[in-house]
């Protein structure tokens, strides 16, 4: 079983629209949405949820006012200034380190486990899908990313499917790092802008740091062909395989508005044709 993770560094480069098109093209696969912070793939896949599970991770301190003697030790120890003058814990600021809970001389602090999201196993018109939703303003997104990728793999194994297509998060921080380990390759969807190039370079560096083979596709390349050239030149220099370009095509947005993949909306559109070529290149590269 192979997993390809699609990331972008910069948000909004068209990563999810391209993955949706891959869903139309790929066979024998499981889809996995690991962009748990702002998961959008389900808006196109329209999954029928078969299993729903709570995601519990991390703890938050809670002060029991009846036991608290207001000695102030917890406020002194908290590195996040998460405890107010009247000894109430700010749940958003609390890091879940447990230092106040451990040291409170009155044992007045509880430290319950948080439920901070949900994850799902679903069926879609393109096959099975594993996806998740992190609660708003919650932490531990990296752990949820690791968990949903694991569940995606299990789902693929149980159905004898040999490919996992994972929608990764933007950025280069904890959830992205959690989306890389063990992947056969990452495909970086870049856009031909100064910021797209800057962000692509950083995320390519991250993939190299964790020794995951990287590939790149420049989306909307015709908005600035020189930037597209520069991104591909950088990629070749850094052993990031150049997999093919996709033009700016309003068909992607129109498809999204209708809840369709670009292949369903108009497979002969310029964008559709380009994604087909991209998928053919990827399949050859990954020996699918």
Partner 1 sequence: MIISIASGKGGTGKTTVATNMAVSLEGDVQLLDCDVEEPNSQLFIQADIEKQEVIHTPVPEVDMDKCTLCGKCGDICQFKAIVVIGETVLPFHELCHSCGGCMRVCPENAITEVGRELGVIGQGRRNGLEFVYGELRVGEAMSPPLIRQVREYARPEALTIIDAPPGTSCPVIAAMKGADFILLVTEPTPFGLYDLKLAVGAVKILGIPCGLVINRSDMGDDLVTQYAEQENVPVLMEIPFDRKMAEAYSRGEMIVTAMPEWKEKFQGLYHRIEAIVG
- Does 102 bind partner 1 (CB under 8 A)? Our answer is yes
13 binds partner 1 per the rule CB under 8 A: yes
Between residues 155 and 212, which has the closer beta carbon with respect to partner 1? 212
Contact 75, 157 (CB under 8 A): no
Closest distance to partner 1 from the beta carbon of 223 (Å): 5
Contact call for residues 200 and 215 (beta carbons, < 8 A): no
> Shortest gap between Cβ of 93 and partner 1 (angstroms)?
8
Site track 118-147 with partner 1 (rule: CB under 8 A), x = hit: ----------------x-xxxx-xx-----
Nearer to partner 1, 161 or 223 (CB): 223
Could you say which of 54, 205, 229, 284 contacts partner 1 (CB under 8 A)?
205
CB of 283 to partner 1, least distance (A): 26
Q: How far is the C-alpha of 82 from the C-alpha of 90, rounded, in Å?
A: 5
* 196 SS3 class: helix
* 171 binding partner 1? (CB under 8 A): yes
Q: Are 88 and 76 in contact (CB under 8 A)?
A: no
User: Which residue, among 199, 191, 145, 196, has the nearest Cα to 171 in the 3D structure?
Assistant: 199
Choices 121-129, 239-247, 254-262, 280-288; region in contact with partner 1 by CB under 8 A: 254-262
According to CB under 8 A, which one of 115, 150, 158, 195 is a site residue for partner 1? Answer: 195
| Residue 138 structure tokens | 């919650």
Backbone angles phi, psi at 261, to 5 degrees: -80, 160
Tell me, what DSSP letter sits at residue 192?
Answer: S
- Secondary structure of residue 191 in the 3-state scheme: coil
| Residue with Cβ nearer partner 1 (9 or 152) | 9
DSSP character for 34?
-
Residue 76: how many CA atoms within 13 Å on its side-chain side?
A: 6
Total number of residues binding partner 1 (CB under 8 A)? 61
Spatial contact of 126 and 24, defined as CB atoms under 8 Å apart: yes
Of the candidates 208, 202, 243, which has an alpha carbon nearest to the alpha carbon of residue 22?
A: 243
Taking the complex as a whole, the smallest distance from the CB of residue 250 to partner 1 amounts, in Å, to 7
84 binds partner 1 (CB under 8 A): no
Among 10, 29, 131, 149, binds partner 1 (CB under 8 A): 10
Is residue 230 close enough to count as binding partner 1 by CB under 8 A? no
Q: Cβ closer to partner 1: 88 or 103?
A: 103
* CA 49 vs CA 30, 34, 161: distances in Å: 14, 16, 19
Give the three-class secondary structure for 94.
coil
What residues line the site for partner 1 (CB under 8 A)?
A: 8-13, 16, 37-38, 40, 43, 58-59, 77, 79, 92-93, 95-99, 102-103, 134, 136-139, 141-142, 169-177, 191-196, 198-199, 202, 205-206, 209-210, 223-224, 227, 250, 253, 256-257, 259
């Amino acid at each position: 079983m192979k997993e390809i993770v699609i990331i972008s560094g910069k948000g909004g480069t068209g990563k999810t629209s391209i993955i949706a098109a891959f869903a139309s093209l790929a066979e024998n696969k499981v889809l996995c949405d690991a962009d748990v912070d702002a998961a959008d793939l389900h808006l196109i896949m329209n999954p029928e949820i078969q299993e729903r599970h709570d995601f519990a991770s991390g703890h938050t301190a809670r002060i029991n006012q009846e036991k608290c003697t207001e000695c102030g030790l917890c406020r002194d120890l908290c590195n996040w200034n998460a405890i107010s003058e009247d000894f109430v814990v700010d749940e958003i600021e609390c890091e879940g380190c447990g230092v106040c809970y451990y040291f409170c001389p009155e044992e007045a602090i509880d430290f319950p486990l948080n439920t901070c999201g949900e994850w799902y196993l679903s069926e879609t018109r393109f096959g099975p899908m594993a996806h998740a939703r992190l609660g708003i303003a919650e932490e531990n997104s990296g752990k949820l990313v690791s968990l949903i990728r694991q569940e995606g793999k299990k789902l693929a194994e149980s159905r004898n499917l040999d490919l996992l297509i994972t929608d990764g998060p933007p950025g280069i921080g904890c959830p992205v790092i959690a989306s890389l380990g063990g992947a056969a390759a990452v495909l970086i969807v870049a856009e031909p802008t100064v910021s797209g190039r800057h962000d692509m370079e950083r995320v390519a560096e991250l993939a190299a740091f964790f020794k995951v083979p990287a590939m790149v596709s420049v989306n909307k390349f015709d908005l600035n062909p020189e930037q597209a050239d520069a991104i591909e030149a950088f990629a070749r220099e850094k052993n990031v395989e150049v997999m093919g370009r996709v033009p700016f095509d309003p068909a992607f947005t129109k498809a999204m508005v209708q809840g369709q993949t670009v292949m369903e909306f108009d497979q002969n559109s310029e964008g559709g044709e380009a994604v087909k070529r991209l998928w053919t290149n990827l399949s050859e590269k990954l020996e699918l």
